[in-house]
């Protein structure tokens, strides 16, 4: 029996989640809100996203406000969400949309020409904000469809089969007539009843679910085995002067954490870095007023590798001429520091007394 989109929509009308970016029933949401939430939700959970979304929207209430903001202000507001290229693209996209008059285009192909908007995000904006009959496929949707049609091929190879199976439901009249609700109903089903541990009894598609019939729902979707995450090693340096300022530098615009502020540090190596080797790379002349002290080690997990940083701290002579800019320690919360660097600054401050800085 083919699952019916009307059954899912009826369930959604009774059980839809209340989310700050989601419009009331029967009302199309603001495309700015949809776009902002979709960019934030990439690689981030709904629970983690909500407070960031609310603070970000309060700070930049319109696409024009975001476009007019300084990039450092955008990066600072984004800090903690990770994947900072998203924030740079967010700012660039806001400028592009503002240049168009402030209105997002409604066509999927045109949306994809904007910075940071790929195929999934374009379809999500088109379906949710403009009621275009397309279906965005995220992890929740993949899980629902893999179970519904008992697709046992591991991801990512199973993506074409999942998309083809979904189309048999998306082409039904109820889905075509309600593309915004249909897309969001799939998200909600995958985030609730069809989560990692399926709750099949109340599911509107339980009777049509092939994985449930075969008692394999909890095993789907299957995923290809990932290689072990490699480990990289390096060091960071907390350099404090007598004016209660620390030295920061800006990372290159391109690449990981691009454009963000950071403590001076070494390159990241694939082999462990000894304390002696790290200190040989410290950005401090030999006549430092106090020797470098080891403040501890930071471990931070990125998507594709784990980073282990030795943290060292010292005070600088009054006339230190070291590349970078000095910032009051009291203003650190205002700086565009990524989560990795906030870990370092918190550790340095928590151990400062013990280090006699």
Name, in order, each residue with C-beta under 8 angstroms of 121's C-beta and a sequence gap of 6 or more. 35, 38, 39, 42, 111, 136
Beta-carbon contacts of 355 under 8 Å, excluding residues fewer than 6 positions away, are: 293, 295, 313
Q: How far apart are CA 99 and CA 138, in angstroms?
A: 30
Q: What is the DSSP string of 208-274?
A: G-HHHHTT-GGG-S-BPPPPPPPEEEEEEEEEE-TTSEEEEEEPPSSSTTTT-EE--BPPPBSS---
CA atoms of 213 and 266, how far apart (whole Å): 56
- The answer to whether 38 is a known catalytic residue is yes
75 three-state secondary structure: helix
Given the residues 38, 70, 142, 245, select the one marked as catalytic: 38
DSSP for 304-350 reads S-EEEEEEEEEE--TT---SSEEEEGGGGGGS---HHHHHHHHHHHH
Measured between alpha carbons, how far is 236 from 338 in angstroms, rounded to an integer? 14
Q: Please, which residues bridge with residue 301 across strands?
A: 306
What single-letter DSSP state applies at residue 22?
A: P
Q: Two tokens at 248?
A: 């920061």
Residues forming a β-bridge with 325: 248
User: In this structure, are residues 95 and 67 in contact, taking their beta carbons and an 8 Å threshold?
Assistant: yes
Q: Is the peptide bond before 166 cis (omega within 30 degrees of 0)?
A: no
Give the residue numbers annotated as catalytic, written as ranges. Answer: 38
């Amino acid at each position: 029996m083919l699952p019916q989109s009307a059954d899912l929509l009826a369930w959604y009308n009774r059980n839809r989640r209340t989310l700050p970016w989601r419009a009331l029933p029967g009302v199309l949401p603001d495309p700015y809100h949809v776009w902002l939430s979709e960019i934030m939700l990439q690689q981030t959970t709904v629970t983690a996203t909500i407070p960031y979304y609310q603070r970000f929207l309060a700070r930049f209430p319109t696409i024009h406000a975001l476009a007019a903001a300084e990039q450092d202000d955008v990066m600072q507001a984004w800090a903690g969400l990770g994947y900072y290229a998203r924030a740079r693209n967010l700012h660039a996209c806001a400028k592009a949309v503002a240049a168009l008059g402030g209105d997002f285009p409604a066509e999927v192909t045109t949306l994809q020409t904007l910075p940071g908007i790929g195929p999934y995000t374009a379809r999500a904006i088109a379906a949710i904000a403009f009621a275009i009959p397309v279906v965005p496929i995220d992890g929740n949707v993949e899980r629902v469809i893999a179970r519904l049609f008992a697709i046992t091929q591991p991801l990512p190879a199973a993506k074409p089969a999942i998309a083809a199976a979904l189309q048999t439901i998306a082409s039904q009249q109820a889905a075509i007539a309600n593309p915004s609700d249909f897309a969001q109903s799939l998200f909600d089903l995958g985030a609730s009843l069809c989560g990692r541990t399926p709750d099949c009894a109340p599911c509107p598609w339980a009777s049509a679910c092939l994985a449930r019939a075969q008692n394999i729902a909890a095993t789907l979707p299957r995923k290809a085995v990932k290689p072990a995450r490699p480990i990289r090693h390096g060091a960071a340096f907390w350099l404090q002067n007598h004016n209660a300022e620390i030295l920061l530098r800006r990372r290159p615009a391109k690449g990981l954490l691009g454009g963000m502020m950071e403590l001076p540090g070494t390159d990241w190596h694939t082999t462990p870095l000894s304390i002696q080797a790290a200190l040989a790379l410290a950005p401090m002349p030999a006549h430092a007023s106090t020797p470098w002290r080891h403040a501890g080690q930071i471990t931070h997990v990125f998507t594709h590798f784990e980073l282990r940083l030795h943290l060292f701290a010292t005070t600088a002579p009054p006339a230190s001429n070291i590349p970078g800019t000095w910032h009051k320690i009291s203003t650190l919360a205002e700086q565009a520091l990524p989560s990795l660097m906030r870990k370092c600054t918190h550790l340095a401050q928590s151990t400062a007394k013990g280090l006699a800085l």
